[in-house]
A and B are shown apart, each in its own frame.
Chain A
Amino acid sequence: MAENEKIIEIEVLRYRPEQDKEPVLQTYKVPFTDDMSVLQGLQYIKDYLDGTVSFRWSCRMAICGSCGMMIDGKPKLSCKTFLRDYYPGGLRVEALAHLPIERDLVVDATDFVTKLESIKPYIIPKEPRALEQGEYLQTPQQRDMYEQFSSCINCMLCYAACPQYGLNPKFTGPGILALMHRYNADSRDGGQAERNELGYADEGYWGCTAVGYCSEVCPKGVDPANAINQNKMNSAINYFTRFVTPGGAGK
């Protein structure tokens, strides 16, 4: 460590199912330099202070979506958050809110993954196309319709931010509804009717009360609140016109 090193106190929410009845806080004094992220602080703890602390991480550069946690009560990627911003005070890191804790800072993502699979997060071609017909063409304007929503890295920060998901985990939630919009809004896709059966339900777009914190915490600039609001409009139009539009009533 450099000579100008400072010490910061990191409180970590521990939960070791074999010994803790409920999560408890444990404080570590961590020497740090100005270029160190919260993730690096945790790695210091694991390497030098307490090898039993568990947390997920992989890329260290805000693209894998593994290291999301509550940092002083706000959902953040720990690799994109710097210790210097909390000094001279300390900081508290906890597992992502609204999700069951598996161990320490590791949450159980089963619900998220199951929901993600259920929305068919892939392009369902409008019409089948033979190889010799070439690729599906798309204009830049058509791409702009969905591009920002395709930046999602599945980090679940928006799930920790969403009060509706916290109240009712049956709600599909911001990130996955934004991804649903990403595919529905793609000019090459024809899967809207299949996906909107969920979208038009109470568990879909209508579970949202437009709080908007999801869009604020997204580390990739995705705006799930906007995706949901656009689809509330689509869903409402479909609700009132479904009996006069061919195929509007869905399956």
Chain B
Amino acid sequence: MKRSNEPIFWSLFGAGGMLAALIGPALVFITGIAVPFGFVFSPDTMSYAHMLAFSQSWAGKVFVLAVIALFLWHAAHRIHILLHDFGVHAVTAVRVLCYGGAFAGTVIAAYTLLMIKA
């Protein structure tokens, strides 16, 4: 029996799912509701200057990359499996679209973050 390479995709899926469950709703609340309406945080919390400063630090870069890339890998795997369960069995095309999309998103995010110089 050939060992499956699924652990790579499943681990990224699992990590993304864990992260989404832990901080996803909080992020939606902070970035989508609290900051724009000025509850708890001041409305300029997410101003360009603040966000730029955040993504100039290595910790900020890692955080932004983890949130973008792992959420994408999670979504890619979930959509891939959902399509399979719904009877779409164009395996290669679906895989290329889902995982290719997540991979492209990861590369673009990483490149963009690296280009933000202090």
Interface residues of A (CB under 8 A from B): 163, 167, 197-198, 200-204, 206, 209-211, 232, 235-236, 239-240, 250
Residues of A within 8 A of B6 (CB): 202, 206
In the assembled complex, which residues on chain B have CB atoms less than 8 Å from the CB atom of A167? 84, 89
Q: Which of B3, B11, B84 contacts A200 (CB 8 A)?
A: B3
- Those of B1-43 within 8 Å (CB) of chain A: 1-4, 6-8, 10-11, 14
Contacts of A236 in B (CB 8 A): 7, 10-11, 14
Contact count band on B: 10 to 19
User: Are A200 and B85 touching (Cβ within 8 A)?
Assistant: no
Residues of B within 8 A of A232 (CB): 7, 10
Q: Does B81 contact A (CB under 8 A)?
A: yes
**A209 to B86 alpha-carbon distance, docked (Å):** 12
Closest to B6 in A: A206
Distance from A91 Cβ to chain B, minimum over Cβ atoms (Å): 27
Given contacts A203-B1, A210-B81, 17 further A-B contacts (CB under 8 A): A197-B1, A200-B1, A200-B3, A202-B4, A202-B6, A206-B6, A209-B81, A209-B84, A232-B10, A235-B4, A236-B7, A236-B10, A236-B14, A239-B7, A239-B8, A240-B7, A240-B11
CB < 8 Å neighbour of B85 from A202, A204, A206, A211: A211
Please indicate the chain B residues that have their CB under 8 angstroms from the CB of A250 in the complex: 3
The CA-CA distance from A206 to B6 in the complex, in Å, is: 7
Q: Closest CB of chain A to B109's CB: distance in Å?
A: 23
Pairs across A and B, CB under 8 Å, 15 listed: A167-B89, A201-B2, A201-B3, A201-B4, A202-B2, A202-B6, A206-B4, A206-B10, A209-B81, A210-B81, A232-B7, A235-B4, A236-B10, A239-B3, A240-B11
Q: How far, in angstroms, from A209 to B84 measured CA to CA in the complex?
A: 9
Distance in angstroms from A196 CB to nearest chain B CB is 9
Contact B1 A198 (CB under 8 A): yes
- Please classify the interface of chain B as helix (H, G, I), strand (E, B), loop, or mixed, using the class held by over half of its residues: helix
Residue on B nearest A198 in the bound complex, by CB: B1
**Residues from chain A with Cβ under 8 Å of B10 in the complex:** 206, 232, 236
Q: What B residues does A204 contact at CB under 8 A?
A: 1, 4
Q: How far is the CB of A221 from the nearest CB of chain B, in Å?
A: 25
Determine whether the beta carbon of B7 is less than 8 Å from that of A235.
Answer: yes
Distance between B94 CB and nearest chain A CB, rounded to angstroms: 13
Bitwise, B55-94 to A at CB < 8 A (1) or not (0) is 0000000000000000000000000010011000100000
B102 to chain A, nearest CB (A): 18
Shortest CB distance B78–A (Å): 10
| Chain A residues with CB under 8 A of B2 | 201-202
What residues on B are CB-neighbors of A209 within 8 Å?
81, 84-85
Name A210's closest neighbour in chain B (CB-CB): B81
Beta-carbon nearest neighbor of A235 in chain B: B7
Alpha-carbon gap, A198 to B1, bound state (A): 6
